[in-house]
Amino acid sequence: MAAAVDQALLDLLPQIHALFSDPLRVISYKWLSRNFCVSSNDAKRLLQEFVNKHGTDLQVIYSVSGWLKNNPQNYCVKLTSGPNLKVIYGSVFLLTKQEFKDSCSIQIYSVQASIPKDTAVLWNPEFVQAEELFNQPFDKENCLRDNRFCGILNSFVKRTSSGKHVSSLPPKPINSAAAAALSKPSIIPKEQAQQENLPGPSIPKEVIGNKAEKNNSSALVKGSNDSVVKESSTSDHASKNKAQNGKAQPGNGGSLATMWGRASAKPKPPTTTNSTAAASVAATADAQICAKEKADANSSDDEQGVSYKRGSNGANNRKRRAVFDFSDDEEEENVISIASPESPAQLAPNPVAEASEDTKEYQKKLESKQDKPNSVKDCSKRMDSDIFSEHNAKSANTTNHSGITLKEKSTDPPMDDSKKDQTVAPASTSPKRRKVLKTRIDERGREVTEVVWEGEAAAGDKAEKNVGNADAGSRATLPSKPQPASNTDKSKASSKSAAGSKRPAKAGAKQGNIMSFFKKV
């Protein structure tokens, strides 16, 4: 069992341990799954691992299920408490007389300080969680609505929000920007093609994104086209998505690997925040959860895969993640690039704004992801998007304009608004940081728009960004890709000095938020 648990999962153990500072706490595998954004199967493994290490003074409840001996047509699921079981080398055995035929399934269900008299206690925390997810706006995707953490994929389960069919390709189905991007399908392929052609590596931030994009570009192009052309045939999407995922993986490998490395390495620092987050804070908690998910490959996989498939496989998940990110990038990029290459000086306000929004959101997501979990960039887009969107909505209402300042070129007012809103969200999550949208015209006369984080880490970021911009300018297509690049950049940055500086700051900010939340609670 122990070997089966990812390091990323094991890193969550201290957080779980911290949760039990509350003697009334009941942690079921599903609660754990939702709280840390890991698949429920992983959550069970994690919980078992936790029990193996720290479970001496805790009571464990197992779910036992199988075909009954005396009634072979009856599949029975029941609960058994720890004393009836024995754990030997991580495997659990039933001590009581076997009423089940053949082998039965014995899986950990929950861990608590004492066996509750009323089993509703086991269910309550889960239901509170479910209710919070349920009460989110109808167009939000979350793990309740797409069942992303289960062990069974359904290729027909698509994420549909507010009547929009969410194709697997667009990571942010909810975003209007994505839709807008889709509205101009003809342009997209060109841009992508351009992006593909780009040499890439010279720019620090964007480089990574570009590489990934390049690798994926062919897949992405297909994907984007598909999404644009036929959203109706989900099955097609699914298959295509799969294909894309497969393609994306090899290309992404480098950047992803770095991300994974981070994920495993980083999760520990956020643990404190996570543990606090475990208290189940709606908005901020979600964001952190997403981050955590990022840290956990499995969880992230599920999230991303949710729209079409929910896989517990880490590999699949990773692939999916990568694809999604790219797709997101593509969309965003497409939007941006559309604005820049075709109409260099004059940008169509809407597309630009949307693009900027998308990019910002994306970056925000990425940053937030990176910041919070730090580890994995991949955190499921949808989760992120959901969370972010939530944050955005909330933040937009409360704290506007804190985030983005436009420099050089003043884009159209609508853009500003959208940007502000989106920026607000990140600001809310990490108040100290701000996203700055920089727009300028490069030597070729193309408009380059970049989102830069300003704030504590701003110095490093700006430096990087500036360099990147210069490079980007030379390679007209860059602007379209900044988002993915930013993601990768961030991941890289985090690995590098700049990233390192950013993360702690963000983490601190988030922690502050969370703490405030807890105080309220």
Partner 1 sequence: MPVPMTMERKQAAYTNLRLAAFAICRIRGTPSRGRSTKGQQYSHIYFTRLHHMRNLLHALVPSWKPQVPVTTVLGLEEGKDCIIVGTLYKHMKLKPSILDEYSKERSAIPLVKPHNFMHPDDHLILEDESGRVTLAGAIAPAEYVTGVVLALRGKETSAGNFLVEDVLEAGLPHQTSLSAADEDKYVVFVSGLSVGSATFNPLQFQFLIDHITGHLGDENEQSIASKIARVVVAGNSVHISPRFLNGQMVASKDQSRIAEPIKELDIMLTQLVASLPVDIMPGCHDPANFSLPQQTIDDLYKYSDAKDRLEFMERTLRWRHLAPTAPNSLGCYPYTDKDPFLIDSCPHVYFVGNQDKYETRLFEGPEKQKVRLICIPRFSDSGVAVMLNLRNLECSTLSFSTSFDA
* Cβ-based nearer residue to partner 1, 52 or 343: 52
Segment contacting partner 1 by CB under 8 A, of 154-162, 195-203, 395-403, 488-496:
154-162
As given in the structure block, the two tokens for residue 483 are 């988002």
Smallest distance, Å, CB 122 to partner 1? Answer: 6
C-alpha torsion 176→179→181→183, nearest 10: -130
263 belongs to the binding site for partner 1 (CB under 8 A)? no
Smallest distance, Å, CB 265 to partner 1? Answer: 19
**How far is residue 247's CA from residue 194's CA, in Å, rounded to a whole number?**
19
Residue type present at position 290: C
**How far is residue 474's CA from residue 350's CA, in Å, rounded to a whole number?**
25
**How far is residue 371's CA from residue 307's CA, in Å, rounded to a whole number?**
25
**How far is residue 490's CA from residue 325's CA, in Å, rounded to a whole number?**
13
The H or E element spanning position 180 is: helix 176-183
* 91 DSSP β-pair partners: 88
Write down the H helix ranges in 372-481: 381-398, 413-429, 458-474
* Cβ-based nearer residue to partner 1, 30 or 465: 30
The candidate with the shortest Cα–Cα distance to 511, out of 180, 317, 269, 307, is 269
Segment contacting partner 1 by CB under 8 A, of 142-150, 163-171, 420-428, 474-482:
142-150
**How far is residue 315's CA from residue 321's CA, in Å, rounded to a whole number?**
10
Q: Which residue has the tokens 């209710």?
A: 131
Q: Out of 69, 86, 137, 156, name the contact with partner 1 by CB under 8 A.
A: 156
Q: Out of 130, 179, 193, 243, name the contact with partner 1 by CB under 8 A.
A: 130
162 belongs to the binding site for partner 1 (CB under 8 A)? no
73 belongs to the binding site for partner 1 (CB under 8 A)? yes
* Cβ-based nearer residue to partner 1, 10 or 441: 10
CB count within 10 Å of CB 115 equals 16
* Cβ-based nearer residue to partner 1, 64 or 452: 64
382 belongs to the binding site for partner 1 (CB under 8 A)? no
Segment contacting partner 1 by CB under 8 A, of 29-37, 373-381, 409-417, 483-491:
29-37
Site string (311-340) toward partner 1, x via CB under 8 A: xxxxxx------------------------
154 belongs to the binding site for partner 1 (CB under 8 A)? yes
> Of 90-119, which residues contact partner 1 (CB under 8 A)?
96, 103, 105-107, 115, 119
Binding-site residue total for partner 1 (CB under 8 A)?
62
Cβ burial, residue 20 (10 Å; 0-12/13-18/19+): middle
Site string (276-315) toward partner 1, x via CB under 8 A: ----------------------x----------x-xxxxx
Q: Out of 4, 24, 459, 463, name the contact with partner 1 by CB under 8 A.
A: 4
Segment contacting partner 1 by CB under 8 A, of 58-66, 357-365, 465-473, 504-512:
58-66
Q: Out of 20, 123, 517, 518, name the contact with partner 1 by CB under 8 A.
A: 123
CB count within 10 Å of CB 114 equals 11
- SS3 for 251-291 is HHHHHHHHHHHHHHHCCCCCHHHHHHHHCCCCHHHHHHHHH
* Cβ-based nearer residue to partner 1, 66 or 171: 66
* Cβ-based nearer residue to partner 1, 149 or 362: 149
Write down the H helix ranges in 232-377: 234-265, 271-278, 283-295, 297-305, 314-337, 349-371
Residue type present at position 28: S
8 belongs to the binding site for partner 1 (CB under 8 A)? no
* Cβ-based nearer residue to partner 1, 239 or 466: 239
The candidate with the shortest Cα–Cα distance to 249, out of 352, 164, 194, 322, is 322
40 belongs to the binding site for partner 1 (CB under 8 A)? yes
Smallest distance, Å, CB 241 to partner 1? Answer: 14
Q: Out of 79, 113, 441, 470, name the contact with partner 1 by CB under 8 A.
A: 79
Beta carbons of 357 and 503 less than 8 angstroms apart: no
**How far is residue 118's CA from residue 6's CA, in Å, rounded to a whole number?**
34
Beta carbons of 449 and 477 less than 8 angstroms apart: no
Q: Out of 134, 233, 250, 397, name the contact with partner 1 by CB under 8 A.
A: 134
Q: Out of 8, 11, 145, 365, name the contact with partner 1 by CB under 8 A.
A: 145
Cβ burial, residue 13 (10 Å; 0-12/13-18/19+): middle
358 belongs to the binding site for partner 1 (CB under 8 A)? no
Residues that bind partner 1 (CB under 8 A): 3-6, 29-30, 33, 39-42, 61, 63-66, 73-81, 84, 96, 103, 105-107, 115, 119-120, 122-123, 126-127, 130-131, 134, 144-147, 149-157, 298, 309, 311-316
